[in-house]
């Protein structure tokens, strides 16, 4: 997970048939983003933790749309709508019951990893016209808010 780098990895991604994922969004991963981008994404560092048998027990109706990538679909990215906030129940590595209320980018990470555990990839949820290579994302779209990308591609709703 850390080598590419990524912010989450689900057991099925590495051929392990368990309802388990690891998550960590290190501060060093934020250095390429502006203060405005971090604020828009509500992105803050998330310490390493394990989620076992996670389930989303509530999700906000407010959806945020940002480019998202995946270690299973390396080299590509697309805009994916996700709930702005979620509440997730899970067990940690000590089998202790935990609940987390997550917002912004952390909520996105949780939804992405929990999707993996259900056999769903971000390409199943993406806005298809935004699917692009990471090279093209870096060159053309990286510094634009998702709303501007959508306007340029004439995507709405």
Residues 6+ apart with CB under 8 A from 104: 41, 42, 43, 44, 64, 84, 85
**Cβ atoms within 10 Å, residue 38:** 14
As a whole number of Å, the end-to-end CA separation of the chain is 32
Q: Which helix (H) or strand (E) holds 134?
A: helix 134-136
Tokens 């935004």 belong to residue:
130
Could you confirm whether 148 is annotated as catalytic?
no
State the catalytic residue, choosing from 28, 89, 113, 148.
113
- Hey, which residues are catalytic here? 113
């Amino acid at each position: 997970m850390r080598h590419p780098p990524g912010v989450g990895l689900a057991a099925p991604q590495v051929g392990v048939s368990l309802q388990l994922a690891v998550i960590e969004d290190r501060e060093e991963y934020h250095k390429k983003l502006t203060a405005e981008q971090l604020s828009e994404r509500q992105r803050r560092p998330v310490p390493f933790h394990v989620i076992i048998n996670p389930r989303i027990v509530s999700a906000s109706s407010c959806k945020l749309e940002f480019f998202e990538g995946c270690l299973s679909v390396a080299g590509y990215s697309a805009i994916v709508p996700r709930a702005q906030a979620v509440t997730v129940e899970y067990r940690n590595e000590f089998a202790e019951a935990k609940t987390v209320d997550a917002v912004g980018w952390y909520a996105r990470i949780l939804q992405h990893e929990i999707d993996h555990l259900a056999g769903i990839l971000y390409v199943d949820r993406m806005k298809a016209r935004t699917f692009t290579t990471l090279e093209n994302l870096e060159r053309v779209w990286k510094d634009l808010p998702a709303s501007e990308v959508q306007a340029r591609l004439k995507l709405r709703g």
